[in-house]
Amino acid sequence: MKGTNSGEGSRLGKSVYRSGTYVARESELVAQIARGDRWALEELYNLYHRRLARFLTRLTRRYDVAEEIINDTFWIVWRKAAEFRGDSQPSTWILGIAYRKARNALRSSARLVAQESLDTPPPLLTTDGPHRAEELRDWLGHALVQLPPEQRLAVELCYELGFSCEEIGTIMECPINTVKTRLFHARAKLQRLLAESGDMEGVPRASARRGNRKKGAT
C-alpha cells in the first residue's frame, strides 16, 4: 500500500480527528473490512498512514522500517477486523497492533539511534530569533532518543498522538500506573537534559495535552 497526503484524516487536528463523528466512521470502516471490503481498508489506511508514519519514523528514524510496520499493521487489520468488538476506539486498537508489531524493531533501532545521537552533538540553543523553535525541536529529538523505548513510546503516544494514560495502557498492554511511571521518568530525564542545554520551555507538561486530561492522570 502507498500512503497519500490527500487522506481526510491527515489534514485534521487531533481533537477533530478523534471526534465522535470520526470514531463512528472508523468503526464503520472496520465493520466493512470484516466483510471483506478492500475499499474500506484503503480508506482506513489513508486516514492513518501519515500519522503512523510520522509517529514510527520519529521512533525509528527509518522511514522504510516505519512503512514495513504500517503495512504489517494493516495486514493484521484486514485479517482480524472481525475480532474487533468495539471495547476500545478503533484508533486504540490499530495503535495497539502497530505497537506490538513494532516493539522489537523499535528496541533494536532505538539503541542504534541513541548511539548516533550521543556521537553527534546537539545544536546550541540561541536565546532568540526565528530559528529557536527549530533548534528546540532538534534538542527534543536528541533527548527523546536517549529514553528507553517504552518511555519514548509513552511520550510519543501521549504528547504527539494525544492518547490518554488509560488508552496508552491498552495500547502498550500494561497497567495505567506503569504508563504514569514511564511518563514521570521520561519527563524527569527530558527536564535534566534540557536543563543542561539551558532551556526548560520545551519540556512537556502533564496538563498541556489531552493525554493526561482524565482524572488521576499524571
Mean pLDDT for all residues in the chain: 75
Rounded mean pLDDT of 172-197?
88
47 and 63 both lie in a single domain:
yes
12 and 104 both lie in a single domain:
yes
What is the pLDDT, as a whole number, of residue 137? 60
102 and 130 both lie in a single domain:
no
100 and 155 both lie in a single domain:
no
The answer to whether residue 37 scores a pLDDT higher than 80 is yes
- Which residues fall within 8 angstroms of residue 43, CB to CB, at 6 or more apart? 29
What is the pLDDT, as a whole number, of residue 107? 63
134 and 202 both lie in a single domain:
yes
What is the pLDDT, as a whole number, of residue 4? 45
What is the pLDDT, as a whole number, of residue 34? 96
70 and 132 both lie in a single domain:
no
Rounded mean pLDDT of 134-141?
60
Number of domains in the chain: 2
Assign residue 31 the CATH number of its domain.
1.10.1740.10
| Residue that terminates a domain, selected from 120, 137, 169 | 120
Q: How confident is the model at residue 32 (pLDDT cuts 50, 70, 90)?
A: very high
What is the pLDDT, as a whole number, of residue 58? 75
DSSP assignment string, the chain:
----TT-GGGGS-HHHHTSHHHHHHHHHHHHHHHTT-HHHHHHHHHHHHHHHHHHHHHHHS-HHHHHHHHHHHHHHHHHHGGG--SSS-HHHHHHHHHHHHHHHHHHHHHHHHHHHHHHSPPPPPPSSSTTHHHHHHHHHHHHHTTS-HHHHHHHIIIIIS---HHHHHHHHTS-HHHHHHHHHHHHHHHHHHHHHTT--TTS--TTSSGGG-STT--
The answer to whether residue 167 scores a pLDDT higher than 80 is yes
105 and 86 both lie in a single domain:
yes
Select the more confidently predicted residue: 25 or 121.
25
Q: Which residues of 172-192 are buried (b: 16+ CB within 10 A; e: fewer)?
A: beeebebbbebbeebbebbee
| Residue that terminates a domain, selected from 75, 94, 120 | 120
* Residue range 42-96, pLDDT digits in tens: 999 999 999 899 888 877 778 888 899 999 999 999 999 999 988 889 999 999 9
> Domain range spanning residue 203?
126-218
Select the more confidently predicted residue: 76 or 206.
76
